[in-house]
Chains A and B, each alone.
Chain A
């Protein structure tokens, strides 16, 4: 039975910091590694104070090389450590892509289950922070498409804390896409004193209903959850009650729960910042159409980024799916 600390109000980034601290304290095999994660505490300060508390051997400032960060984490994991890698920004993950897809994702399978590679990779992702190129992207579909990886994305402090601890406990590699636009977004956090067991809590990270409604289901994750909620608020003013569900994980995706919601509403709109083309929404649309074709009153619609390189920051409000575009999609779904 876990001992719960009193609830506190913290930012999403601070919740991750607390989760990392709890894991570092609970297990000496847990390591944090990445560029500038030590003395500086990371460029978003998510690892702030951890180096002072746990030492530079366990909170490791690495050389500047993402392939090196993930590749050596794989070796450390094979040696029994539980490394938590920070990739500084979404657009910088690609030097590590080969290590993630060819090594990290496959070693369990190739070894017939003999090898475990419990590496956690934290990637701040998404836009809305007015950043320069390569600092606002949403590449999660590339990783969700890769068998062997689990991919999650929190939208609030409690989920960020729980997912981080569960990811570290999980024997599979887990990629946490952290919505950087929500790092400072405050929420209530009840920090558990005990560690999650065997990744169970990650498996239980089923989607959560953030707002009930009967007219249409809005499915979102990470930074798009507040956008979907804002759209739902706007729709409520027009007498349209939208249900908002937070997927939390995109590998695996809790299709059963989406199906349950769609069975009530008959309409589904999926929202994410990533480009719509071959995005998570495409998989959800296909699966839901397969599973409950006769329950649907309208085709599953997707709202997301365009099939463009992420544009300069001054254009991102027009590029990103905000409440207006979600509402437009809902109207389209209702018109069928």
Chain B
């Protein structure tokens, strides 16, 4: 179909769950109840942590926060499909992915407090550092995947991108490279409807799921507010990658319930009706309803999860207030691996009589 005739997607409409699910999800679901409970638990913890971080920003303890509110299913569902050998290259909003991979989300707070620019060891949970330059993680992710393949490593790379990032030239190059090199890379696009104030239709006049087609990267759209669907689609895509079918792409259709960051005011550019429609499709509420419908969780389970969320939120505040900022002499130390004469000279002025110059 010529692009000109393709329907121009507006901000994703709610209530379209399951209408374009991939082959894996088209099979009848036999839900793994334990898995559903773990999705819910990680989503709820992500939500609790996110709220706590937003509150910390409001209290002046964080310089900024980028809420994941509303995207928990896309993040937790997809992340749970990753195997132990797989790697994550996130953007800057993947708090639920980090939590699901076992990165202590409190380690995110230093970045947003202005105390550090990283916060965790990427090799521990195979989660690369956050990338604040939109789309800049895509090419390194592909390179990492090429490296895994060269090494005969069974892992794949999942690179998380937003709808806005798909417009970046670098992301298009990443699709070219991934296809050309048959790199084991899954492009996981969370289409949350808005790039700050810019709706997805400004980025793309085709479904983002089709963004990779012309590059040779097949894609599918999945209901991003359905953790099971996100999990199934991610698992299937990773299976295709491991079977040697090359890079894959998933568009998880979701919604940024909150602002872009705590500096943003969405009421300036989007309709309250749209927000209300999506609030009715809150992924956490949907996950809870699903568990209740299946009789897979009782009141004690929900109470326990809630308590765990409260404990995480409380510890987030404590952790945040206790963060020791990096020192400038450490930044000098980390600038180069081997001595650099200029850095040594400047470092010496820090301790010079009369103060630094």
Chain A residues at the B interface, C-beta cutoff of 8 Å: 35-36, 38-41, 43, 61-65, 67-68, 91-92, 94-95, 130-135, 277, 301, 303, 306-309, 311-316, 318-319, 324-325, 328-329, 331-332
Contacts and interface: CB of A to CB of B under 8 A. Distances in A.
A93 to B, nearest CB: 10
Interface residues of B, number: 45
Contact of B342 (A91, A277, A309): A277
9 contacts: A61-B198, A63-B203, A64-B135, A135-B132, A277-B342, A311-B331, A324-B355, A325-B355, A332-B354
Contact of B335 (A63, A67, A94, A308): A308
A64 B346 CA distance: 38
Nearest to B266: A40
Nearest to A313: B114
B170 interface: yes
A134 B133 contact: yes
A308 B195 contact: no
B35 interface: no
B104 to A, nearest CB: 19
Given A91-B132, A134-B133, 20 more contacts: A35-B196, A35-B198, A36-B197, A40-B197, A61-B202, A64-B135, A65-B168, A132-B112, A306-B332, A307-B335, A307-B340, A308-B331, A312-B110, A314-B113, A314-B114, A314-B325, A314-B326, A325-B355, A325-B357, A328-B356
Contact of A328 (B169, B264, B326, B357): B357
Interface in B295-350: 325-328, 331-332, 335, 340, 342-343, 346
Contacts of A301: 357
B325 A95 contact: no
A40 B168 contact: no
Interface in B76-117: 110-117
B169 A132 contact: no
Contacts of B356: 318, 325, 328
Interface in B271-309: none
A41 B197 CA distance: 9
Given A61-B202, A65-B168, A311 B133 contact: no
A260 B50 CA distance: 57
A92 B134 contact: yes
A131 B132 CA distance: 12
Given A61-B198, A328-B357, A306 B116 contact: no
B63 A130 contact: yes
A36 B198 contact: yes
Interface in B215-272: 263-264, 268-269
Contacts of A277: 342
B167 interface: yes
A133 B326 contact: no
Nearest to A88: B196
Nearest to B111: A132
B327 A329 contact: no
A309 B354 contact: no
B168 A64 contact: yes
B64 interface: yes
Given A65-B167, A133-B132, A314-B115, A307 B325 contact: no
A59 B115 CA distance: 37
A315 B169 contact: no
Contacts of B167: 63-65, 68
A309 B112 contact: no
A312 B342 contact: no
Contacts, number: 130
Interface of B: 63-64, 110-117, 132-135, 164-165, 167-170, 195-198, 202-203, 263-264, 268-269, 325-328, 331-332, 335, 340, 342-343, 346, 354-357
B357 A303 contact: yes
A130 B262 CA distance: 14
A314 B327 CA distance: 9
Contact of A131 (B64, B116, B346): B64
A309 B331 contact: yes
B115 A312 contact: yes
B61 to A, nearest CB: 12
Most buried by B among A132, A308, A318: A132
A308 B264 CA distance: 30
B357 A132 contact: no
Contacts of A62: 198, 202
A312 B112 CA distance: 9
A277 B340 CA distance: 13
Given A311-B331, A315-B331, A64 B165 contact: yes
A135 B117 CA distance: 12
A143 B285 CA distance: 51
A309 B335 contact: yes
B29 to A, nearest CB: 35
Top 5 closest A-B pairs, CB basis?
Answer: A313-B114, A64-B164, A40-B197, A63-B167, A314-B325
Contacts of B332: 306, 308
A315 B342 contact: no
Nearest to A317: B328
Contact of A312 (B114, B195, B335, B355): B114
A65 B168 CA distance: 5
A277 B341 CA distance: 12
A36 B164 CA distance: 11
A303 B263 CA distance: 32
A327 B125 CA distance: 47
Contacts of B198: 35-36, 61-64
